[in-house]
Amino acid sequence: MDAIRPALDGLLEALGHGEEPMGVYYTDTPPADGFHPKPGPRVSFEKEQRGEMDWGAMWGNFSCVLGQTWLARKKGKPAWFEAEAYGCPGGSFFLGFHKPQADFICRYVSSGVPGAAEGEKYMRTPEEVRAFFTGIDPRPAPGRCCVIQPLRLFEGVRETPEVVVFFARGEVLSGLCTLAVFATGDPDVVAAPFGAGCANIVTWPLRYLAAGRPRAVLGGADPSERKFLKTDEWTFAVPWVLFEMMLAQWPASFLTTETWAGVRKKALRSRETWGE
């Protein structure tokens, strides 16, 4: 990680972006400091089918992955999650701590659970949600914990993030999306698939990578995550291999042109307007 710092600082300066990205990795050792949800009952499809899931206890400890990540961003510390401290049943599924997803959640994301939960109505029917969960098929967590932390916390340690996540507004996103194309030569390298906020910063990038096609994933369309993003802010997540390509190639890209200089001025103006 230490070796990429000059290139990363240069890229952020060229973009006009003031916040370093976050890195995602799995480990068997929880961080000594940081933010994590309170422990709760493990989500289990099998337990649900036996009528043993305590949904009241689960909702009582509810905490969004993006909410914990928001705290980590503000404080410069790790956010971490595990099977017993996941915060959200969607997050538990998308981070790879359990599957298949519960029927209750399929109904919650769509039409709702009469007498228990109003539906989010993000998809029309529980069957459509089930098909989505089956299709995305998150990789089982390769470690006890999923950790999301600022990239600077990887300096001087052995771990390398699997996914790098930028939080940015429109002008900076235009630079990141176009740079991903420049670095790969692939005009379709940026994807914006449906999913929860955590799916778009973890599950989808890893899924594309496992399929042999590293892609950048644009996220932020999930209405439930918007409260944990700044106004007009979206996420841009890339697997480490694509991040390295972007770092290596940005000095030869459009980011050095007069065209980009005009866009960068708007990015800086946005930061000034929002007091950043």
- 47 pLDDT above the threshold of 80: yes
Count of residues in the chain: 276
Confidence of residue 61 (pLDDT cuts 50, 70, 90): confident
DSSP the chain: -GGGHHHHHHHHHHHT--SPPEEEEEESS--SSSB-PPP-PPP-HHHHHTT---HHHHHHT---HHHHHHHHHHHT--EEEETTB-SSHHHHHHTTS--SPPHHHHHHHTTEETTTEE---SSS-HHHHHHHHHHH-PPPPSSSEEEEEEGGGGTTSS---SEEEEEE-HHHHHHHHHHHHHHH--TT-EE-----HHIIIIIHHHHHHHTT---EEEE---GGGGGGS-TT-EEEEEEHHHHHHHHHHGGGSGGGSHHHHHHHHHHHHHHHHTT-
pLDDT of residue 232: 97
* Residue 126 to residue 109: CA distance in whole angstroms: 8
Q: Is residue 36 part of a domain?
A: no
The domain total for the chain is 1
pLDDT of residue 25: 98
Confidence of residue 57 (pLDDT cuts 50, 70, 90): confident
Q: What tens digit of pLDDT does each residue of 220-260 get?
A: 999 999 999 999 999 999 999 999 999 999 999 999 999 99
DSSP 66-96: HHHHHHHHHHT--EEEETTB-SSHHHHHHTT
- 38 pLDDT above the threshold of 80: yes
Q: What tens digit of pLDDT does each residue of 72-115 get?
A: 999 999 999 999 999 999 999 999 999 999 999 999 999 998 88
- 1 pLDDT above the threshold of 80: no
Q: Is residue 109 part of a domain?
A: no
Confidence of residue 120 (pLDDT cuts 50, 70, 90): very high
Q: How far is CA 129 from CA 98, 156, 195, in A?
A: 16, 42, 10
Q: State the average pLDDT for the chain.
A: 96
Express as a percent the part of the chain with pLDDT over 70. 100
Q: What tens digit of pLDDT does each residue of 170-215 get?
A: 999 999 999 999 999 999 999 999 999 999 999 999 999 999 999 9
Contact 51, 103 (CB under 8 A): no
Q: What tens digit of pLDDT does each residue of 142-177 get?
A: 999 999 999 999 998 888 999 999 999 999 999 999
Range of the domain at 17: 2-27+149-273
Q: Is residue 160 part of a domain?
A: yes
Range with the poorest average pLDDT among 32-41, 57-66, 90-99, 100-109: 57-66
- 116 pLDDT above the threshold of 90: no
- 12 pLDDT above the threshold of 80: yes
pLDDT of residue 3: 81
- 2 pLDDT above the threshold of 80: no
Q: Is residue 254 part of a domain?
A: yes
